[in-house]
Amino acid sequence: MLDFLWNLGSFIIALGILVTAHEYGHFWVARRCGVRVERFSIGFGRAIWRRIGKDGTEYVVALIPLGGYVKMLDERVDEVADEFKPQAFNRKSVWQRIAIVAAGPIANFIFAILALYLMFFIGVPSLKPVIDSTLAGTAAEKIQIHEPMQIMAVSGQKVRNWEEVNLALVGHIGEDSISLSLAPLDRLEGLDSREETYQLDTREWRFNPEEQSPIKALGLGVYSPEILPTLALISPDSAAEAAGLKAGDVLVAVNGQDYSGWDDFVEIIQHSANMQVALTIRRDAEQFEVDLVPKPSKAANGEIIGVIGVSPTQAPWPENMRLQLEYGIVDAFFVAADKTWQLTAVSFKMIGKLFTGDVSVKNLSGPISIAQGAGNSANYGLVYFLGFLALISVNLGIINLLPLPVLDGGHLLYYFIEVITGKPVSERVQEIGFRFGAALLLLLMSVALFNDFSRL
């Protein structure tokens, strides 16, 4: 319940910030084009706060925090007194109307740059993308790893951490090949001669993002510090807690066999749902046995597995694998702008791959997934929440630019047709377009919601 409330609160805050940025873009440009703005509302429905500004605009925060709007004076919607007609939206030139409509999505891209600027100025703790193995039968099996290797670039695009590797790989889904540039982790600065580039055949590269990352699906073995047999966390109301296990306990044996590693231990537990498992534990100087019964749980693939609610202790990350992405007051802006461009390019690529079939509609996410993402990023701290806001802001800007008549992109399409033909699109054609756009948007939202519920 607490997780639900945290995710919901984080989602409302994130949506409120992004909607405010989007609508303020419309508002700011409309005012500078001489349009009278009657209401600036964050949310829909009953107003829980309102104020009339000196400019005559009614500023509102409404009860339902699922969007917002800017109501402009428009003769097509309401009766307008003669003295106010020059301030009506419909009386403005087509280029002014284009500027006002486009300002919303543009504001989302500007906000993304600002959020990322603040994130990079504060500094983001990160890890270098280091691999220590490759999996047989995958696209990456041709890479021979004899020592930890750092991924330096993906198809020519330089990468600094795993997030950038993941983003770069996603952008190449559906392509015939991907190149990876690798270098030994301990290479000397400036000695690029030790960097090697591998061309991977990705024609058969397929993966389900709900079950694995593109990194793992490609066959890259991500380096991670040794997992120790010491228990770091015992979950409340778990089988481990019921059996009396405590943080700091050391695993010595499982079902009479010496402990051989965390992966083997997890496999035994997962295959023992509702079955008794005997653990030999060392606590301080004492060694004793504990019997427990793993609780059944449904995995992402639908399989029933056993869980006991424990987490292990991991050895510290080596210092040479740690990375602090932190930039000065000027450099942070250029890095943020470049990151926003990368997010935009990948998002457009993914939309195109939806139409070509390289990406399944099952990958569409709706408000539930976004709320979970908001909660998870907020849990990690401000810099990660800022990164999440930037990502969603870019996607909100792109979605609004789609040429669906109910979105900003649809209005822009009509206005550009007016620029070309010299006359407005007829009301009847616009009405048909709005109906079609609303139906298509409702269909996409339904698919996204269905995907969200299927992931619960």
Q: What is the DSSP string of 205-220?
A: ----TTT--HHHHHTE
Rg (alpha carbons) of the chain, rounded to whole number = 27
Crossing angle, helix 2-32 and helix 367-380, to 10 degrees?
A: 100
Nearest-angstrom CA–CA distance, 291 and 71:
66
Residue 191 DSSP SS3: coil
Q: Is 374 helix (H, G, I), strand (E, B) or coil?
A: helix
**Contact residues for 15 (Cβ-Cβ < 8 A; gap 6+):** 65, 66, 67
- Distance from chain centroid for Cα 406: 25
Cα 289 from Cα 190, distance rounded (Å): 55
CA dist 26 and 243 (Å) reads: 60
DSSP 194: G
d(CA 152, CA 141): 18
Q: What span, in angstroms and rounded, lies between the C-alpha atoms of 81 and 84?
A: 5
Annotated catalytic residue 23: yes
* Whole-angstrom distance, CA of residue 48 vs CA of residue 65: 11
Listed residue (234, 262, 214) closest to 363, CA to CA: 214
Is 131 in contact with 222 (CB distance < 8 Å)?
yes
DSSP summary character for residue 189: T
CB 325 within 8 A of CB 311: no
Between the two ends of the chain, the Cα-to-Cα distance in Å is 14
**Which whole-number Å values give the CA distances from 71 to 24, 42, 291, in the listed order?**
12, 11, 66
Instruction: Kindly list the catalytic residues.
Output: 23
